[in-house]
Amino acid sequence: SGTSVYAMVAGLPAFASLTDDAISAFTGGAATGEGAISLTAPEIAENGNTVPISVDAPGAAEITIFADGNPVPNVATFKFGPLSASRSASTRIRLAKTQNVVAVAKMEDGSFQMVKANVKVTIGGCGG
Amino acid sequence: MASGAKPRVKVPKTAAAGDTITIKTLISHKMESGQRKDDDGNIIPRSIINRFTADFNGQNVIDVTLEPAISTNPYFQFDAVVPESGEFTFTWYDDDGSVYDTAKKITVS
Amino acid sequence: GNWARLAAQQQLTQDQLLQFDTFGNVSLIHITDIHGQLTPLYFREPSINIGVGGNKGAVPHVTGADFRKLYGIKDGSPSHYALSSGDFAALAQGYGRVGGLDRVAMVINAIRADRPDAILLDGGDTWHGSYTCYKTQGQDMVNVMNALKPDAMTFHWEFTLGSDRVAELVEALPFAALGQNIFDAEWDEPTDLFPPYKMFERGGTKIAVIGQAFPYMPIANPRWMFPEYSFGIRDENMAAMVEEVRSQGAECVVVLSHNGFDVDKKMAGVVPGIDVILSGHTHDALPEPVVVGDTIIVPSGSNGKFVSRVDLDIRDGRMMGYRHKLIPIFSDVIAPDPKVAALIKAERAPYLAEMAEVIGRTESTLYRRGNFNGTWDDVICDALLSEREAEIALSPGVRWGPSVIPGQDITREDIFGVTSMTYGEAYRTEMTGEFLKVVLEDVADNIFNPDPYYQQGGDMVRTGGLGYRIDVSKPQGERISNMTLLTSGEPIDAGKSYVVAGWASVNEGTEGPQIWDVVENHIRKLGTVTVQENNSVEVIGV
Ligand SMILES: [Mn+2]
Ligand SMILES: [Mn+2]
């Protein structure tokens, strides 16, 4: 059971508005579509300090990742070069608590695509 | 962190011309976020890898900006096309100005 | 009541228990969640096992008299005693102990006499949970299980031996160690040590067995003990493995799973092409399989209490039919296999004197299984409160641990049966009321989240000195209310700090005496244990 995790205490303020601001900064306030970008993340993080995520947006020039429950929402930006075979990438990120991971792609035509995935960060469970 | 940041990469040794190959990279680095406190309550200053690039024969594959939310020992996986035989070069840029790099050759048949 | 007398009149025989009309062309034998139990024991099934979401009221979330009614089981019958709660102490007097790997071996021998090439599969949680298993770091279980000649195994608590020890034991196994969901954490790739599946050819039929280890290992257990590995359900990879084995000619696909029952049920609906899921981890025992689409799910209990036999008729690359029996291991009825009995005796001999030492005696049934506090947990929480001088005690809601019946001595071995683990340090710390609520809410969501993929297959964290109300129908953050400090009757204050003692922390570097020593000291002082009814948790929304 998660009977003694001292490190992660709930009650952090909501940082969602910071994320909205960061997204606006990336898109210049343009509307974002959906459906042409996918984000793969675990439903439950095995470890909030290293959560595997993958993004894929065919036709993207760049993809930027946010975590809306972290004190600083920005996570990473992938810019794809001429020898990039697919507009996809995987990495591992830190999530301070249960929250949404947000991926926004800037497409080659200048439009934007967005997708979110909720990741549960738990302090522990009990076993059978 | 200038010493001891060890890069490791996985690149296939061979491929057919125009093939898509998957590349995986890791570098040992603690990625100090700048948000942790030491035992005396003082903020531990930020010290991270802030940029990673992969190039093939001088052309770019991927260029990544890293923030402190990237985990310890940054890991990336991505796909590249290989038009001809040549060399991948991988470069990591540290906050402290250090640059780490490694290269891998691939033979295209 | 007079169940004891009735029970004695039942005249169970080994032939009756083993009776089976051999069917089809393939036999599977499943045993799971033995938890280090080499010798016969008592094990009380839960009286509370709440199902949520789509599994509300569905088996295995039916207990006691409701369970017996559902399956047409007569009160006082052997099946009542083996499969359900109610009149446990009396029935235990009559029917005696269950399990014992020498008895399990005898049952396996008998099945192999019918079907020499039956496939024996161990669902994991095998190398954990007893005094000798702790002292030998799993070697006793490995030695005895090897004598049973399993064909494959998957894993959960084994990993709490630490990845080095696991690798050492697995490398020496004369059978397959499977886990399609055991990945190398560094490169996110399958491992060589734990292949995803193994193909068997039996009765002219190709059978694939795919392993599924416990998906939430790094959350439910200390991940610092096995940092090299990553787990997860990985149902997409499971689907890919099913396709792969089918393309290699598998006519029958068996998943040896440590997912837990509700997760298996969901996975059977998500991943097509699985014929049989042999289900472990949640310790459920059902007299017949649960069918989801074309998949049969077979849960086989825990602690060596049951062996499942599943005969399959595989023709033209398809499962045309099955016959199943959940065989209860009544230890006074089934004769021990002499070779395995001798082996168990030898494994136990070096530790026998220290294990057998009597620490106290109980007038109450001591058990654990159930969604909320069992009486063993109450004793452990009391021990933490008094020995560690705490206001509140927390004890993990694990599902293992044999029972002790009224009038029995409590030995050191009995205490290890409910506490043995590689991270048993009993910590003492301060927690705010707010943090205590977070802990309760968090654990509750790991049990009562309506989506089975969020359920970790344990029970609620046990509390001492702390009462609360739980509405299992609410979402995370809204389930727990009315938290009360029992000594004063005062509501828990979110901003106030409380002295909390607990054990089985998943955090590295946790300090404190071992929990079995804490419990031993407490029971020694009590002499005789009597557990009062515990009404400190009010459950609503069921
Ligand atoms: Mn178990
Ligand atoms: Mn388990």
pLDDT tens, position by position, C245-302? 999 999 999 999 999 999 999 999 999 999 999 999 999 999 999 999 999 999 999 9
Instruction: Tell me which residue in A51, A71, A85 faces B20 most closely, judged by beta carbons.
Output: A85
CB contact under 8 A, B78 and A67: no
Q: Is the model's pLDDT at B72 over the cut of 70?
A: yes
- The pLDDT confidence band at residue A123, using thresholds 50, 70 and 90, is confident
Give DSSP secondary structure letters for C106-162. Answer: HHHHHHHHH-TTPEEEE-S--S-SSHHHHHTTTHHHHHHHHHH--SEE--SGGGGG-
Nearest CA in chain A to B20: A85
On chain A, the residues whose CB falls within 8 A of the CB of B63 are 78-79, 81
- The pLDDT confidence band at residue C61, using thresholds 50, 70 and 90, is very high
Q: Is the model's pLDDT at A124 over the cut of 70?
A: no
What does residue C465 show for φ and ψ, rounded to 5 degrees? 75, 0
On chain B, the residues whose CB falls within 8 A of the CB of A45 are none
Q: Which domains does chain B have, with CATH numbers?
A: 6-108 (2.60.40.10)
Indicate the residue type of C536: S
Summarize pLDDT for C101-148 with one digit per residue, the tens.
999 999 999 999 999 999 999 999 999 999 999 999 999 999 999 999
B86 touches chain A (CB under 8 A): no
Question: Separation of C508 CA from ligand 2 center, angstroms?
Answer: 21
pLDDT of residue C343: 98
Mind telling me how many Å the CA of A78 is from chain C's nearest CA? 20
Mind telling me how many Å the CA of C127 is from chain A's nearest CA? 14
Nearest CA in chain A to C125: A128
Q: Is the model's pLDDT at C3 over the cut of 50?
A: no
Closest by CA to C236, choosing from C205, C257, C277, C267, is C267
pLDDT of residue A2: 35
Mind telling me how many Å the CA of B45 is from chain A's nearest CA? 15
Share of chain C above pLDDT 90, in %: 96
Question: Separation of A112 CA from ligand 2 center, angstroms?
Answer: 45
CB contact under 8 A, A76 and B64: yes
Task: Return the exposure string of C363-379: e unless at least 16 CB atoms fall within 10 Å of the residue's CB, then b.
Answer: ebbbbbbbbbbbbbbbb
* Residue recorded with tokens 């070096």: C350
On chain B, the residues whose CB falls within 8 A of the CB of C228 are none
pLDDT of residue B35: 87
On chain B, the residues whose CB falls within 8 A of the CB of A54 are 77
Q: Name the average pLDDT for chain A.
A: 87
A12 touches chain C (CB under 8 A): no
Contact B27, B6 (CB under 8 A): yes
Mind telling me how many Å the CA of B60 is from chain C's nearest CA? 23
Query: Is C325 in a helix, a strand, or coil?
Result: strand
Query: Is C454 in a helix, a strand, or coil?
Result: helix
CB contact under 8 A, B10 and C187: yes
On chain C, the residues whose CB falls within 8 A of the CB of A14 are none
Summarize pLDDT for A82-112 with one digit per residue, the tens.
999 999 999 999 999 999 999 999 999 999 9
Mind telling me how many Å the CA of A86 is from chain B's nearest CA? 6
Neighbours of C262 (CB within 10 A): 24
CB contact under 8 A, B77 and C188: yes
pLDDT of residue C203: 82
Question: Separation of C379 CA from ligand 1 center, angstroms?
Answer: 21
Q: Indicate if ipTM > 0.85.
A: yes
Summarize pLDDT for C370-407 with one digit per residue, the tens.
999 999 999 999 999 999 999 999 999 999 999 999 99
Nearest CA in chain C to A48: C219
Q: Is the model's pLDDT at C359 over the cut of 70?
A: yes
Q: Is the model's pLDDT at B2 over the cut of 90?
A: no
Contact C110, C21 (CB under 8 A): no
B14 touches chain A (CB under 8 A): no
- The pLDDT confidence band at residue A127, using thresholds 50, 70 and 90, is low
CB contact under 8 A, A89 and B80: no
Question: Separation of C214 CA from ligand 2 center, angstroms?
Answer: 6
pLDDT of residue A6: 32
Contact B72, B12 (CB under 8 A): no
pTM score: 0.95
CB contact under 8 A, A127 and C221: yes
Chains that touch B (3 or more CB pairs under 8 A): A, C
Q: Name the average pLDDT for chain C.
A: 96
> Residues 89 to 128 of A: which have CB under 8 A from any C CB?
90, 120, 122-128
Chains that touch C (3 or more CB pairs under 8 A): A, B
What element of type H or E holds A21? helix A16-27
Q: Is the model's pLDDT at A8 over the cut of 70?
A: no
On chain A, the residues whose CB falls within 8 A of the CB of B59 are 81-83
CB contact under 8 A, C507 and A125: no
Q: Is the model's pLDDT at C413 over the cut of 60?
A: yes
Instruction: Provide mean pLDDT across the span C237-248.
Output: 98
Instruction: Provide mean pLDDT across the span A62-67.
Output: 98
Instruction: Provide mean pLDDT across the span A43-65.
Output: 96
Contact C300, C326 (CB under 8 A): yes
Q: Is the model's pLDDT at C184 over the cut of 80?
A: yes
pLDDT of residue A4: 35
Mind telling me how many Å the CA of B1 is from chain C's nearest CA? 20
Q: Is the model's pLDDT at A125 over the cut of 60?
A: no
Q: Is the model's pLDDT at A15 over the cut of 70?
A: no
On chain B, the residues whose CB falls within 8 A of the CB of C187 are 10, 24, 26
Query: Is C327 in a helix, a strand, or coil?
Result: strand
Contact C500, C431 (CB under 8 A): yes
Summarize pLDDT for C14-33 with one digit per residue, the tens.
999 999 999 999 999 999 99
Size of interface A-C (CB pairs under 8 A): 127
Which alpha helices (DSSP H) does C312-411 contain, by range? 338-348, 352-356, 375-387
Side-chain half-sphere exposure of A71, counting CA atoms within 13 A:
8
Measured from the alpha carbon of residue C399, the closest ligand is: 1
Share of chain B above pLDDT 70, in %: 96
